């Protein structure tokens, strides 16, 4: 039995099977029954991955969640080639970067990545440690997201920057009324504040 476990060919077939046919759902922190993940994919530390209702993830997705969580809150569509890193490299005086590992790395370098509801992520997007992608947002293909994305905004580029808001404030409020209970809706004052911060001409 030990020989089989250590056999490189057997291990290769095993990981190929997992990548193409999926890992057991009980290996995840949480995964809803109606989640669709297209193989192949590569998930590190599935216990730190939480995928809620009606999320679809395209093929060739890579999620590294060693010491922090990756959370998809639901109702989101993710195209092929998504990469998520909840961890971050450390630079330590007196140590080569190659000698720094998960055991001796200083605390605070790994942070949760959160994708809120109703998010569309284009193909080949990279999301880095600590990023929160706001509800209703769109991330353009090929973007590298390094900072928080406000709700209902469109981000793109390397590194990703704000491009525009998806809708006007009135349209966002209408959308929220149709989809969310009153206690979960984004307030008009909050929307006006983020529109002001980003200098959008879409404000009504």
Find out whether 145 and 120 touch, Cβ atoms under 8 Å. Answer: no
Q: Which two tokens stand for residue 163?
A: 């491009």
Q: What is the pLDDT of residues 92-121, one digit of tens each?
A: 888 888 888 877 777 777 899 999 999 999
Task: Look at residue 141 and tell me whether its pLDDT is greater than 80.
Answer: yes
Q: What is the mean pLDDT of residues 50-71?
A: 95
Looking at the chain, the whole-number percentage of residues with pLDDT higher than 90 is 70
Strands 161-165 and 153-156: antiparallel
Q: Which two tokens stand for residue 191?
A: 């929307």
Find out whether 154 and 164 touch, Cβ atoms under 8 Å. Answer: yes
Q: What is the pLDDT of residues 149-182, one digit of tens each?
A: 999 999 999 999 999 999 999 999 999 999 999 9
- To which CATH superfamily is domain 2-165 assigned? Hexapeptide repeat proteins (2.160.10.10)
Residue 2 vs residue 100, higher pLDDT: 100
Find out whether 36 and 57 touch, Cβ atoms under 8 Å. Answer: yes
**59 confidence band (pLDDT: 50, 70, 90):** very high
pLDDT of residue 14: 42
Task: Look at residue 146 and tell me whether its pLDDT is greater than 60.
Answer: yes
To which residue do tokens 């989640």 refer? 35
Q: CB-based contacts of 175: which residues, under 8 Å, 6+ apart? A: 136, 167
Instruction: Give the burial string for 158-191 (b: 16+ CB within 10 Å, else e).
Output: eebebeebbebbeebbebbeeeeeeeeebeeeeb
| Averaged pLDDT score across all residues of the chain | 87
Find out whether 49 and 92 touch, Cβ atoms under 8 Å. Answer: no
Q: What is the pLDDT of residues 10-36, one digit of tens each?
A: 444 444 444 444 556 789 999 999 999
pTM above 0.85, yes or no: no
Return left, alpha or beta for 60; rule: phi > 0 is left, psi -120 to 50 is alpha, else beta. Answer: left
To which residue do tokens 């969640």 refer? 65
Q: CB-based contacts of 15: which residues, under 8 Å, 6+ apart? A: none
Return left, alpha or beta for 82; rule: phi > 0 is left, psi -120 to 50 is alpha, else beta. Answer: beta
* Structural domain spans, the chain: 2-165, 167-204
pLDDT of residue 17: 44
């Amino acid at each position: 039995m030990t020989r089989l476990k250590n056999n490189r060919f057997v291990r290769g077939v095993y990981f190929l099977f997992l990548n193409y046919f999926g890992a057991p759902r009980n290996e995840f922190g949480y995964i809803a029954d109606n989640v669709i993940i297209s193989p192949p994919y590569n998930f590190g530390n599935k216990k730190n991955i939480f995928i809620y209702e009606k999320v679809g993830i395209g093929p060739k997705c890579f999620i590294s969640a060693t010491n922090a969580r990756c959370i998809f809150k639901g109702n989101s569509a993710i195209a092929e080639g998504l990469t998520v890193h909840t961890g971050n490299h450390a630079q330590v005086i007196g140590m080569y970067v190659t000698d720094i590992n998960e055991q001796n790395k200083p605390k605070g370098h790994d942070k949760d990545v959160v994708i809120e509801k109703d998010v569309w992520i284009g193909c080949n997007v990279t999301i880095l440690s600590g990023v929160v992608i706001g509800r209703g947002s769109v991330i353009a293909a090929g973007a590298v997201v390094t900072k928080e994305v406000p709700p209902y905004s469109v981000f793109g580029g390397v590194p990703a920057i704000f491009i525009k808001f998806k809708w006007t404030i009135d349209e966002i409020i209408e959308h929220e009324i149709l989809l969310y209970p009153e206690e979960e809706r984004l307030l008009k004052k909050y929307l006006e504040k983020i529109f002001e911060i980003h200098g959008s001409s879409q404000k009504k």
